[in-house]
Amino acid sequence: MTSPSTRTLFEKIWRRHLVTAEEQGLPATLFVDLHLVHEVTSPQAFTALAERGLSVRRPDLTLATMDHSTPTDPSIDTARLRVLDPEGSAQLDRLQANCDRHGIPLYAMGDERRGIVHVIGPELGATQPGMTVVCGDSHTSTHGAVGALAFGIGTSEVGHVLATQCLLQHRPNTYEVRVDGRLQEGVVAKDIILAVIAKLGIGGGTGHVFEYTGEAIRALEMEGRMTVCNMSIEGGARAGLIAPDEVTFDYLEGRPMAPSGDDWEAALDDWRSLPTDEGATYDRTTTIDGSALQPMVTYGTNPGMAIPIAGAIPEDHTIEPEKRASFLKALDYMALEPGQQLQGKPVDVVFVGSCTNSRYSDLLAAANVLRGRKVADGLRVLVVPGSDAVKRQAERDGLAQVFVDAGAEWREAGCSMCLAMNGDQLAPGQYAVSTSNRNFEGRQGAGGRTFLASPLTAAASAITGRVTDVREVLS
Amino acid sequence: MSKRFDRYTGTMAPLPIQNVDTDQIIPASYLKVTDRSGLASGLFCRWRYQGGDPEGEPIEDFVLNRPQHQDARILLAGDNFGCGSSREHAPWALVGYGFRAVISTSFADIFRSNALKNGLLVVPVTASVSAALFDAVAANPATEVTIDLEAQTLSLPGGGQAPFEVDPFARRCLLDGTDQLGYLLKQAAAIGAFEAEHPSRLDTRSA
Ligand code: SF4
């Protein structure tokens, strides 16, 4: 047990946000500092408010964007979308109407601040250390990278937060995920988190909040930290946190919604008090040797089914008996065999994008591999920036040109092929190397098969048209 | 849609697959709705119909298409049910189809929370109870169980009861048929006091 004077980062944030504490079977009422909203999980919540004649309590702490069902094909404008996708279009209109009615700032199609909800939050400096951040989206865990307690909620809860700016919650347990050592060349944040999930299992963090610690985490830049925290939910943890430090403060300073002037100094004082105290303990702890990590790639139909890129899919007799049927079902879907190597496996599509890996540094990493090279014949390569701001910066700095010259498609910002609901998707039977976060059956299109990997692995695979270890391309 | 649950007796549809994610329960192509209706036909559609679409032929082998499980209103699922996306469309689709409860050895956190807000009871059981239930349904699809929320017990086919855990507050709401928003709204004064004491550094309208 943690003594009263020593607390973890999670405990500090939790305590600061208690409107009422948990007692006698009643959940705590937790105040929400920032509520992010998108078109897909909000309409029924706004309807629930309307049915009860309620208004939005804190539009000033609410921020909406359009990302999931927006087309990324630059030739599709709002008018054409109405024809091509009337349902998706109606959903966007509904968000616009709901935000207008309640005075919620909304970054609609064409707005320069628009992007994937988990990309724009940190980019604008809206997500800050010590905050509670929620969104009707499980990858809200991303925002934990700045030291905020951030987690996904369902649509009923979206309604709760709109109406009361609060949530009913039971205190989760804490889980320290410590990654020691220094990463090898070619190993990046995505490989860390895929290795963590492979180790803990996709239900390993259920009921817990991860706090990532250790030298390998500290050495990551902010955007790499976001990649790690983003996939906490794939390990079953609703939230993942990284203690704020100078890297965090440097990243936030000067961003549009970050505090400035005297407020910045006051905020810094406060934020420096957040990291877990010396001597505080977690409910669970695990340690990973970061220096031993290899580039990771998934072979199955959940993010925990991952192997080092040079490795082989496990043999079925090594799988626990009660898990064997699900394991074989996954391989059947993927049309792969136990014991098979993935490296060298031909693919049809490479997707660089999603809230996991669509930030500037992700695109830069991919561009550095692709510069002066061509994508393989017959391969479709989509590069989708996470926000309009990322897109503009990549165009300014010549990254977009690198992708276009290599033969990749350079698209508008959005969720794109991470989930199949905006026109970008795999055809049945196709294989993709994808920098997104979910390889579930049909996630990227009915019958589509996903190999999750880092932007480096994706770019290397784009050149060869096969699952490829980036270190071979670069050497 | 009733959000009440007290006691239910009925047969089970067995889905002995682990880590059923919410993309399988209801794929993203169904997420364009702006209400809660029309989701039942999309429930498990990738496994349920040829081509993954309700327009396609039913896949005979899939549990919801087997005649002996047509009336089942309890889903007997594998471990870590409902992982992945936070979409509440998953419990809406299950409830829309007619399911009243899901039994599993474990549930993903967000799914559990969403289900309980929609009158869909999640019943966590031990691995041995789960195995016994799967065996019983395999031997006789007409096997019935009773889920009693007041007593927090599940009656077992061979006799006996398995106790199960449920969040006490969610349990109270389900038994009374009340919703959680009402409870939160009653805290308006406390919330106002909290806001006054904790001025925000952020204004999302400022950028
Ligand atoms: S990029 Fe994918 S995972 Fe991220 S918010 Fe969009 S759909 Fe969800």
Instruction: Assess whether pLDDT exceeds 60 at residue A147.
Output: yes
pLDDT for A4 = 64
Instruction: Assess whether pLDDT exceeds 80 at residue A429.
Output: yes
| Contact yes or no for B183 and A168 at CB 8 A | yes
Alpha carbon of A293 to ligand 1 centroid (Å): 26
What lies within 8 Å, CB to CB, of B63 at 6+ separation is B13, B14, B15, B69
Looking at residues B145-172, what average pLDDT do you find? 96
Q: What's the order of all strands across the beta sheet hosting A208-213?
A: A239-241, A208-213, A173-180, A284-289
DSSP string, A92-127: HHHHHHHHHHHT--EE-TT-TT-B-HHHHHHHTT-S
| Contact yes or no for B110 and A153 at CB 8 A | yes
Are B11 and B71 a contacting pair, CB within 8 Å?
yes
- Closest alpha carbon within chain A to B195: A31
**Strand, coil or helix: what is A365?**
helix
The neighbour count for residue A401, using CB atoms within 10 Å, is 14
| Contact yes or no for B86 and A153 at CB 8 A | yes
Residue closest by Cα to atom 5 of ligand 1: A355
- Closest alpha carbon within chain A to B52: A446
Contacts of B188 in chain A (CB under 8 A): 164
Two tokens, residue B76: 């007997």
| Preferred mutation among B33, B83, B94, B171 to probe A, highest tally of A CBs within 10 A | B83
Residue closest by Cα to atom 4 of ligand 1: A355
Alpha carbon of A69 to ligand 1 centroid (Å): 10
Confidence label for A3 from pLDDT (cuts 50, 70 and 90): low
- Closest alpha carbon within chain B to A33: B200
Helix segments in A232-343, DSSP class H: 246-252, 261-271, 321-334
pLDDT for A466 = 98
DSSP string, A280-304: ---SEEEEEEGGG---EEE-SSSTT
pLDDT for A2 = 47
Instruction: Assess whether pLDDT exceeds 50 at residue B55.
Output: yes
- Dihedral through CA A183, CA A187, CA A192, CA A193, nearest 10? 160
Q: Among A118, A383, A438, which residue has the most ligand 1 atoms within 8 Å of its CB, making it the best to mutate? A: A118
Nearest to A203 among B80, B127, B190 (CB): B80
Our CA-based measurement puts residue A246 at a distance from the nearest CA of chain B, in whole angstroms, of 20
Is this model's pTM higher than 0.90 or not? yes
Any ligand 1 atom below 6 A from CB of A418: yes
Our CA-based measurement puts residue B144 at a distance from the nearest CA of chain A, in whole angstroms, of 24
What lies within 8 Å, CB to CB, of A313 at 6+ separation is A299, A307, A331, A336, A337, A338, A339, A340, A341, A342
Alpha carbon of A63 to ligand 1 centroid (Å): 17
Contacts of B79 in chain A (CB under 8 A): 203
Nearest to A154 among B24, B80, B88 (CB): B88
- pLDDT digits 0-9 by tens, B76-127: 999 999 999 999 999 999 999 999 999 999 999 999 999 999 999 999 999 9
Q: How far apart are CA B160 and CA A152, in angstroms?
A: 38
Alpha carbon of A383 to ligand 1 centroid (Å): 15
- The one-letter code for the residue type at A180 is D
Q: Among A66, A139, A444, which residue has the most ligand 1 atoms within 8 Å of its CB, making it the best to mutate? A: A139
Atom number of ligand 1 nearest to Cα A67: 6
| Contact yes or no for A421 and B31 at CB 8 A | yes
Alpha carbon of A386 to ligand 1 centroid (Å): 10
- Closest alpha carbon within chain B to A43: B34
- The neighbouring-strand residues paired with A149 are A132
pLDDT for B2 = 53
Cα distance between the two ends of chain B: 41
Range of weakest confidence among A39-43, A74-78, A232-236, A309-313? A74-78
Query: If we measure between CA atoms, which residue out of B92, B82, B122, B94 comes closest to residue A236?
Result: B82
Burial grade of A96 (CB within 10 A; 0-12, 13-18, 19 or more):
middle
- The neighbouring-strand residues paired with B171 are none
- The one-letter code for the residue type at A193 is I
Confidence label for B1 from pLDDT (cuts 50, 70 and 90): very low
The number of residues making up chain B comes to 207
Looking at residues A287-303, what average pLDDT do you find? 98
- pLDDT digits 0-9 by tens, B115-139: 999 999 999 999 999 999 999 999 9
Any ligand 1 atom below 6 A from CB of A143: no
| Contact yes or no for B204 and A263 at CB 8 A | no
- Closest alpha carbon within chain A to B17: A326
Q: Which domains does chain B have, with CATH numbers?
A: 7-179 (3.20.19.10)
Our CA-based measurement puts residue B183 at a distance from the nearest CA of chain A, in whole angstroms, of 9
Our CA-based measurement puts residue A343 at a distance from the nearest CA of chain B, in whole angstroms, of 26
Nearest to A164 among B23, B179, B185 (CB): B185
- Closest alpha carbon within chain B to A104: B205
The neighbour count for residue A443, using CB atoms within 10 Å, is 28
Query: If we measure between CA atoms, which residue out of B26, B47, B152 comes closest to residue A154?
Result: B26
Instruction: Assess whether pLDDT exceeds 60 at residue A1.
Output: no
Place of tokens 């599709």: A76
Portion of chain A with pLDDT greater than 90, in percent: 96
Contacts of B118 in chain A (CB under 8 A): 156
| CA distances in angstroms from B122 to A471, B108, B147, listed in the order given | 47, 11, 10
Any ligand 1 atom below 6 A from CB of A355: yes
Residue closest by Cα to atom 2 of ligand 1: A418
Place of tokens 């807000």: B117
Instruction: Assess whether pLDDT exceeds 80 at residue A418.
Output: yes
Nearest to A202 among B19, B34, B207 (CB): B19
User: Residue B52 carries which DSSP code?
Assistant: G
- Dihedral through CA A56, CA A62, CA A68, CA A74, nearest 10? 120
| Contact yes or no for A160 and B33 at CB 8 A | no
Two tokens, residue A264: 């910045």
Contacts of A34 in chain B (CB under 8 A): 202, 204
| Contact yes or no for B27 and A44 at CB 8 A | no
pLDDT for A322 = 86
| Contact yes or no for B87 and A152 at CB 8 A | no
Instruction: Assess whether pLDDT exceeds 80 at residue A381.
Output: yes
pLDDT for A43 = 97
Q: How far apart are CA A424 and CA A318, in angstroms?
A: 37
Mean pLDDT, chain A, whole residue set: 97
User: CA angle, corner A364, sides to A121 and A116, nearest 5?
Assistant: 25
Cα maximum dimension of chain B: 64
Confidence label for B158 from pLDDT (cuts 50, 70 and 90): confident
The H or E element that residue A86 is part of is: helix A86-102
Looking at residues B18-47, what average pLDDT do you find? 95
| ipTM value for the complex | 0.96
User: CA angle, corner A382, sides to A377 and A384, nearest 5?
Assistant: 160
Any ligand 1 atom below 6 A from CB of A137: yes
Radius of gyration (C-alpha) of chain A in whole angstroms? 22
Alpha carbon of B150 to ligand 1 centroid (Å): 39
Q: How many CB pairs under 8 A join A and B?
A: 219
- The neighbouring-strand residues paired with A186 are none
Looking at residues A164-171, what average pLDDT do you find? 98
pLDDT for A474 = 87
- The one-letter code for the residue type at A29 is T
Q: How far apart are CA A433 and CA A450, in angstroms?
A: 6
Instruction: Assess whether pLDDT exceeds 70 at residue A120.
Output: yes
The H or E element that residue B170 is part of is: helix B168-176
